[in-house]
Structure 1
Amino acid sequence: MAELTRLREDSGLSRAEVAERIGSTDTTVWRYETGLTRPKPSDVAALTDVYGVTGAARETLVQMAREARQRGWWHRHRQTLKPGFDSYIGLEAEASVVRSYEPLVVPGLMQTEAYARAVIEVTTVTHAPPEVDEKVTVRISRQQLLHGPGEPIQLVSVLDEAVLRRQVGGPKVMREQLEHLVDLGKLPNVEIRVIPFSAGAHAAMDGPFCLLGFPEPGDLDLVYLEQAASGLVLEDPDEVRRYTLMFGSLTAMALRADASAAFIAELAKKCSNQR
């Protein structure tokens, strides 16, 4: 970011001096300034503190860093994605922990390709087949976050029983999807919990949501809400706290992970008996 170079030069500080103040190296500062490395929002915030930048100017630079890091392999697909979802994928890729609640469909990170195609075809009725293929590609590509390369994300997913009973794509597709959930639940970084119908009403009956946690201590949690035509990222601490408490309430009502796995496996067997 050229603006970081200008600010440092105006401050009269060398790269080495700046690096010492933010606990980094002069090479890292140089990479930020030349654009070879995209600084995290927390990095830019630290630099603006050193340079004495405050107010709107500081927020603009931090936001620029956030938007820059949201662009990745998915950016070339943004024309086929709903507004806001490309930004979410970028944030998801930066996250270390994803906590989600779904009342209707299996979350995208855990969908089989056949299930994903069935969902996308029925929910994007105005899209041509090539656009459906592109959406499926994006959805399946995101799942690398669960397996690597690199440190896989921690996923905690709470599913309403309706997710498991709704026949998406027919019995065969649904059986494969349920079996896939059982397999994913065996991963050390994945926890799947089911809220059975017998649990009754709960705090999240207004709809699905996703909580994102990040590895840097200075990066606050975020909430993502998805609608039919758009997505919304919530950053307000009070809103995030509300959804965090809601998620805690859901996990308290849900079956344990082992009981959830047994519940899903039993439903998969029932799909095997259907034609």
Structure 2
Amino acid sequence: MSTEARAEAQAPWLRPWTDNERRATLLRWFEHSLIPGLLQTADYARAILSAGPNRPAVVEEWTASRLARQAAVFDRDDPPTLSAIIGESALRFGNQSIMKDQLEHLVDIGDRSTVHIRVVPQGAGLHAGLTGAFVVATLPGGSRLGYLDDQLRGRVVADADEVGDLDLTWESLSAVALPRDQSRDVILRVIDDYT
């Protein structure tokens, strides 16, 4: 699939975000119940996209688009730092073989110096991230944007106060997330549970 065809396969409201994603120097991504899109394997992405009312052809288009987004971010000469905080429950949702491969991918990609994966343990209780997933991108020159997703579409947030609110939520999540090495250990334990 050509770059233009992949861009057309993206929902129109997602295109402005992916343009920023490709230019970002830092991406801070929180997901409570899913693995972040840039860290998903093809099988995991396909399973997530198939869980809704999407037709098989649409699922395949969106899966290809998601993989192209990953390549655009990670395969460039100077990839951004991706700091991801994931709820532990996201490590446990899904088909056993798909999840085992997905979690092994998290361990592998988490070994990159530019990818930091941390887990909010289930024992953390109520926390600020339960209100929804978000991403904050820092762009060249230091400007920052946020991205919020919902059932119908995503929304790019450019207002400095709103991005500041996302920063405060990020700090609150950082306070309850496990450090990188302990998070890796949690992921490895869950992989063992799938074996």
Q: What's the TM-score, normalizing by structure 2? A: 0.93
SS at match of 1:270: helix
Would you say 1:120 and 2:73 are equivalent positions?
A: no
- 1:230 — aligned with what? 153
Residues 1:157 and 2:84 aligned together: yes
Post-superposition offset of 1:203: 1.4
Structure 2 letter corresponding to 1:95:
A
Question: 1:204, 1:250 within 8 Å by CA — same for their partners in 2?
Answer: yes
Give the Cα separation in 1 of the matches to 2:119 and 2:88. 6
| Counterpart selection for 2:127 from 181, 197, 202 | 202
Secondary structure class of the residue paired with 2:30:
strand
**What whole-Å deviation, never above 9, does each CA across 1:155-206 have from its counterpart, x for those lacking one?**
000001110111x2x1111101011111111100000010011111111211
1:187 aligns with 2:187: no
Following superposition, the deviation at residue 79 of structure 1 comes to 5.1
Paired position in structure 2 for 1:25: none
How many residue pairs match? The answer is 194
Q: Are 2:166 and 1:243 equivalent residues in the alignment?
A: yes
With over 3 angstroms needed to count, the CA separation of the structure-2 counterparts of 1:78 and 1:141, relative to structure 1, is closer
Give the CA deviation at 1:78: 5.1
Match of 2:24 among 91, 95, 98: 95
Q: Counterpart amino acid of 1:164?
A: L
**Secondary structure of the residue that 1:239 maps to in structure 2?**
helix
Matched, 1:76 2:1: no
Q: Greater strand percent: which structure?
A: 2
Letter in 2 for 1:180: H
- In 1, are the aligned partners of 2:6 and 2:68 still within 8 Å (CA)? no
- Say yes or no: does 1:261 pair with 2:190: no
For the aligned residues, what is the CA RMSD?
1.6
Percent of aligned pairs with the same residue? Answer: 33
Alpha-carbon distance in 1 for matches of 2:81, 2:72: 9
